[in-house]
Amino acid sequence: MPGDWLSVVAVADRLGCSRVPVMEAVKRLASEGFLTIVPQVGCQVVLPAPEEVHDFFTLFAAVEGCVTRLAAERRTEEDLVGFRQVCQRVDSMLKTAGGPTSRDPAYRRANLLFHQELHRLARAPSACAIAANLWDRSDFYIKAAFGSLYFSPAVQRSHAAIRRAVVHGNPDAAEAAVERHLRTVGAGVSARLRGATKKSL
């Protein structure tokens, strides 16, 4: 969580590895803006700037919307068999997942499973690679704001709209549903972080 301190030694001990790969990972996370390294002290998880988060989700919505549009355009009837099976798996995972404050990793797995299937249907490796590279940052921002990747009823309604658009082969509706969903998520995360920033002043 933002403000938490990490110890390279403690992380290495927990993983049962040397400090070298942990330090390399820390440096990479710091270069990407997730951590701040304080010499002789440790590493601190950053509190993202609300404006930066808003801009990120605007970009993420456009990229993921493009991929989902392609999925709706290119999916075949045969593809839909696998897509429906994935959606059933996601629904089953959510039924047994924890509550909003449980930080249950099942939510992240379910979200990845759903979007990876959309990416498969899109048949656009380059575009999908760009979108997939944004997922970790999206998860970081959401967890920084809310502490969990919990699927709220609003998120579940958004996913249902995306599913319908893909199944019906409606590219416009698919793209619009994803963009609306991610922009709404971004607005919520930004607002939450804006409140956290004010409290820290």
Q: What is the pLDDT at residue 41?
A: 81
- What's the angle, vertex CA 87, arms to CA 164 and CA 100, rounded to 5? 100
By DSSP bridging, strand 35-38 and strand 5-6 are unpaired
- What's the angle, vertex CA 73, arms to CA 69 and CA 74, rounded to 5? 115
Say yes or no: domain 5-45 is CATH 1.10.10.10.
yes
Portions of the chain given CATH number 1.10.10.10? 5-45
Q: What is the pLDDT at residue 40?
A: 78
Q: What is the pLDDT at residue 198?
A: 62
DSSP helix/strand/coil, 42: strand
DSSP helix/strand/coil, 33: coil
How far apart CA 118 and CA 11 sit, in angstroms, is 35
Portions of the chain given CATH number 1.20.120.530? 50-200
pLDDT along the chain (201 residues), means of 10: 86 90 90 88 90 97 98 98 97 94 93 96 96 94 93 94 98 98 96 78 48
- Closest by CA to 164, choosing from 181, 185, 188, 183, is 181
Q: What is the pLDDT at residue 197?
A: 62
Q: What is the pLDDT at residue 3?
A: 83
Q: What is the pLDDT at residue 96?
A: 95
50-200 folds as: Four Helix Bundle (Hemerythrin (Met), subunit A) (1.20.120)
Q: At what angle do helices 171-200 and 153-167 cross, to 10 degrees?
A: 160
Q: What is the pLDDT at residue 153?
A: 93
